[in-house]
Amino acid sequence: MPAPQTQQLQTRENHVTTGATVWLTGLPSAGKTTIAYELAGRLREEGRRVEVLDGDEIREFLSAGLGFSREDRHTNVQRIGFVAELLARNGVLALVPVIAPFADSREAVRGRHKANGTAYVEVHVATPVEVCSVRDVKGLYAKQAAGEISGLTGVDDPYEVPASPDLRIESQDQTVQESAAALKALLTERGLA
């Protein structure tokens, strides 16, 4: 019987160690974070190294002080992209459920990954604004409708829909589990899960 240390090495070798960034973009309350955490749980059960870079947590800890101007949003997305690429380059699957409303910001992140030879997958969680406003997980749509806030992505601030994402998820037509399974299938097909 091999020593415990040898067993751990053998077990690790059986798991995918290629890192990647999986960016889930979409409107507020589209289901990005819910899908990311569902997928992360499944992959961790299989022994995969996974981190979820939650947009709200990043805003609090890495991008505190940034507002919601186009420039600040771009800076926020670039910071997140840098951290995701760093994790991915080191064998971690980085799931990034972040709106990233502007195509040029997302393309810059993709470019950073390409320059470093790091896998990057863009997923558009394409939930219609009408469905998102009913879900209204954080109460943002209600606050915007009441005039308490402005600059809500997809309502009174732009959201540039990805022209050709690697995967488009219509979360209003399937369960969270089905959405996570579709994404996992794509990652498996590409040798990333």
The Cα 109–Cα 85 span in angstroms is 8
pLDDT tens sequence across 89-100? 999 999 999 999
Query: CA 174 to CA 143: how far, in whole Å?
Result: 27
Tell me the CB-side half-sphere exposure of residue 161, using CA atoms within 13 A: 11
| Residue reference for tokens 């806030």 | 149
Average predicted confidence (pLDDT) for the chain: 91
Out of 71-80, 90-99, 123-132, 139-148, least confident range:
139-148
| Chain centroid offset of residue 124 CA | 9
With a cut of 50, say whether residue 15 has pLDDT above it.
yes
Average pLDDT over residues 140-161: 92
pLDDT, one tens digit per residue, over 159-169 is 999 999 999 99
Give the containing element (helix H, strand E) for 115: helix 103-115
Q: What is the pLDDT of residue 5?
A: 43
First to last CA, the chain: 29
